[in-house]
């Protein structure tokens, strides 16, 4: 994926739109910070659950995205206190307000 500054994008917009049309993605930067991503219609980023800023950093090789969470790996734990009991204990600890 190509990275281009905002000023250069403005000056050569038709060229970059043509590249996007042919399947090439373009990251748009403003003072070195990625602010936008141009991709062909219908093409999604690597991970739709991850914020686009993290995806951009991942594409530049500055970080590695973690795997999606699998709920089956984490068993549901039983409730240790009755509902409302924690609030009662905190009220006893803090006293009357």
List, for residues 19-54, the tens digit of each pLDDT value: 999 888 899 999 988 899 898 887 765 445 777 778
Hunting for tokens 């709920």 — which residue is that? 71
Please tell me what DSSP assigns to residue 73.
G
92 membership: H or E segment, kind and range: helix 85-94
**Ordered domains of the chain (ranges, CATH):** 2-68 (3.40.1620.10)
pLDDT at 1 over 90: no
**CA pair distance 18, 38, nearest whole angstrom:** 11
The pLDDT value recorded for residue 47 is: 46
Give the mean model confidence (pLDDT) for residues 1-15: 93
SS3 47: coil
- State both tokens at 3: 């990275």
**Contact (Cβ atoms closer than 8 angstroms) between residue 39 and residue 61:** no
List, for residues 74-89, the tens digit of each pLDDT value: 888 898 999 999 999 9
Report pTM.
0.47
| pLDDT tier for residue 14 given thresholds of 50, 70 and 90 | very high
């Amino acid at each position: 994926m190509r990275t281009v500054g905002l000023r250069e994008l403005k000056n050569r917009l038709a060229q970059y739109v043509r590249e996007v049309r042919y399947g090439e993605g373009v990251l748009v930067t403003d003072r070195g910070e990625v602010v936008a991503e141009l991709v062909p219609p219908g093409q999604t980023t690597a991970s739709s659950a991850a914020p686009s800023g993290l995806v951009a950093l991942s594409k530049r090789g500055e970080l590695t995205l973690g795997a999606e969470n699998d709920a089956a790996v984490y068993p549901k734990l039983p409730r240790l206190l009755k509902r409302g009991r924690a609030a009662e204990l905190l009220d006893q600890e803090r006293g009357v307000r």
